[in-house]
Amino acid sequence: MTTPVLEIQNLTKHFAVGTLAKPSYVHALEDVSFKVNRGEVVAIVGESGSGKSTTVRLIARLMEPTRGEIIFKGQSILKTEPKGATLDYRSKVQMIFQDPFGSLNPIHTIGHHLERPLLIHKKAKNKKELQEKVETLLTTVGLNPAAEFAGKYPHQLSGGQRQRVAIARALTVDPEVILADEPISMLDVSIRMGVLNLMDKLKVDRGISYIYITHDIASARYIGDRTMVMYAGHMVEGAESTDLMQNPAHPYTKLLLSAVPNPHAGLGKQTHVEIPDAAKRAEIPSLIDLPPGCPFASRCPAVMSLCHKTMPAVTTLSAQHWVRCHLHTADESLPLPPPNPPRVSL
């Protein structure tokens, strides 16, 4: 069995709010654990405030976790680099942000944006090699003619082209993992597919792994090998993407799937689970002083009294499919289902 390229163990982040006299904490992330294998796309899906962006920002070392472990190729990053990530980790684990315009400096050319990391990480020996590498990168991400694009400024590019530049910039340092935080949510629908296909091609050609953050479960199904669902700072379900979409087990996953447009609607084929409107309209509860039990209890159409008392444990449904929901736990305190009625022969 190969070592995962990235392993996250019990990652937790609490933000202090309130006053010194009356401190309180936002529980943004609670005991999140998962693995990413080489050349694998792990999609993390959830609403705003579910903790998915906090997860990748912690992995990128843009902030320090309250507790937990980040293990990169078998090495604990928090132990070996306690004061922030080194250049080596930063080059191997790169991030693409949601807003491609905001992540580029409007006063510098595209060529400058790509030259900077190449120079900082000593990836080019001279000016000629620098220029060649910039043009190769632009060609790799489909920006042709490369020399022309290198001389342009961010405002001269479309949203999709700017996101391709952001991907090219991540590639300058030969990353092994790319953290893609909603990389297509600000792009026109017509160009989203092109960016996802580019990410997929880089996965195949270079063995790059991705953590793909999205609130759109349909794009997670498209690009994710595995998909994990987050709610109120907790991972609530995970499975291979196809399995998750076809056999969702957690009521929240079913709620997300119910929001995906259904091309079979009205054609006599029912592919989605009916979710009450009240559950669809409700929002994530406050992450300050979350009540005990399941965080989805206030919206769940299947809530039971146990759900308000105890956080459900992880239940394994198959080799790759797990869920945290009392509907799937074999808890002895739950009442047994009624026995099957005796068969009656007519």
The correct pick among 141, 160, 307, 321 for binding ligand SF4 (CB under 6 A) is 307
Q: Does 275 bind ligand SF4 (CB under 6 A)?
A: no
Which of 321, 257, 293, 238 has the alpha carbon at shortest distance from 8?
Answer: 238
Q: Pick the closer one to ligand SF4 by CB: 175 or 293.
A: 293
Q: Does 96 bind ligand SF4 (CB under 6 A)?
A: no
The CB-of-255 to ligand SF4 minimum distance in angstroms stands at 10
What number of chain residues touch ligand SF4 (CB under 6 A)?
A: 14
CB contact at 8 A, 175 and 94? yes
- The C-alpha torsion from 182 through 186 and 188 to 190, rounded to 10°, is -10
Q: Pick the closer one to ligand SF4 by CB: 192 or 299.
A: 299
Which of 290, 332, 295 has the alpha carbon at shortest distance from 46?
Answer: 295
Q: Does 300 bind ligand SF4 (CB under 6 A)?
A: yes
* Contacting residues for 93 by C-beta, under 8 A, at least 6 apart: 6, 59, 60, 72, 85, 175, 176, 177, 179
The CB-of-241 to ligand SF4 minimum distance in angstroms stands at 21
User: Residues 320-339: x/- map of binding to ligand SF4 (CB under 6 A)?
Assistant: -----xxx------------
Q: Pick the closer one to ligand SF4 by CB: 98 or 315.
A: 315
Segment 213-272, which members bind ligand SF4 (CB under 6 A)? 250-251
The correct pick among 78, 302, 314, 317 for binding ligand SF4 (CB under 6 A) is 302
Q: Pick the closer one to ligand SF4 by CB: 238 or 251.
A: 251
User: Residues 278-297: x/- map of binding to ligand SF4 (CB under 6 A)?
Assistant: ----------------x-xx
The CB-of-327 to ligand SF4 minimum distance in angstroms stands at 5
Would you tell me which residues interact with ligand SF4 (CB under 6 A)? 250-251, 294, 296-297, 300, 302-304, 307, 312, 325-327
